[in-house]
Structure 1
Amino acid sequence: MSTAETADATPEIEVSETAAEQALDLLDGEGMDTDIAGLRLFVQQGGCAGLSYGMRFDGEPEPDDEVYEHHELRVFVDPASMNYIGGSQLDFEGGLQGAGFHVENPNVVSECGCGESFRT
């Protein structure tokens, strides 16, 4: 189940169970309270296509953040980033090329060759 702390027509962020488990393990390893703390997903300028994703752990959401909860993981997204990533799904992938979090963003019109940056 997910909850957004603000009523908005922007499509919400989804999180796969695998991504939630990985993030919760990392949060726990950092000694953070998973009932309050969460994963911040944001968009920043950079990369060869113009925008890139950023992630970090925050102890609590900012007052204007959208807050989603999936599989017991809280995800914080600031309003400016929601303009670019609303409707996205966060997943965790493993494989020969390395493991990591991946954002599947329906708003992307092009990505750079390495997949690290995008344009909407």
Structure 2
Amino acid sequence: MSTDASGGGEPDVPVTVTPKAAEEAISLMEGEGMDTDVGGLRLFVQQGGCAGLSYGMRFDNEPEEDDRVTEHHGLRVFVDPSSMNYIGGSTLDYESGLQAAGFHVENPNVEAECGCGESFRT
């Protein structure tokens, strides 16, 4: 990953996950036949988007050696050190509504977001 580690986040403060987000992620993992005791949701930051950085999520079968691993409501969450600089202290939530449903990161480190909320700057 080629992000600049000067994001200004709180690397010692883990990302938290709401019960609804954990429930949705676990359901998706089980639907893909993944072992939720070992695998987890990887939350990361990547270059891109109109504000400069964007969030990424994927399921991984196991954490990387240097990942910060936390567990929330039965969901294991993996965050690499570079991403933690940008998203430390954030909360992952799941929102559902009439027009859209999906995961949303509430990041206290954000100084500016694009209009769609998919990219940000710290």
Q: TM-score, normalised by structure 1?
A: 0.92
Q: Report sequence identity in percent.
A: 74
Name the residue aligned to 1:16.
Answer: 18
Shift of 1:44: 0.3
How many Å apart are 1:10 and its aligned residue?
Answer: 1.4
Match of 2:65 in 1: 63
SS in 2 for 1:20: helix
Unaligned stretches of 5+ residues in structure 2: 1-9
- Mapped partners of 1:44, 1:63: distance in 2: 19
1:79 pairs with 2:77: no
Structure 1 moving runs of 4+ over 2 Å: none
Counterpart CA distance in 2 for 1:113 and 1:91 is 19
Contact kept? 2:92, 2:106, Cα under 8 Å: yes
The count of corresponding residues between Structure 1 and Structure 2 is: 113
Query: How far is 1:91 from its partner?
Result: 0.3
Aligned residue type for 2:12: T
Task: Find out whether 1:108 has 2:110 as its counterpart.
Answer: yes
CA distance in 1, matches of 2:83, 2:120: 13
Structure 1 residue 34 corresponds to structure 2 residue 51 = no
Partner residue of 2:3?
none
1:59-95 CA distances to partner (integer Å, 9 max, x unpaired)? 0000000001000000000000000000000000000
* 1:68 counterpart SS class: strand
Distance 1:11 1:80, change over 3 A: same
Shift of 1:96: 2.0
RMSD in angstroms over aligned alpha carbons? Answer: 1.1
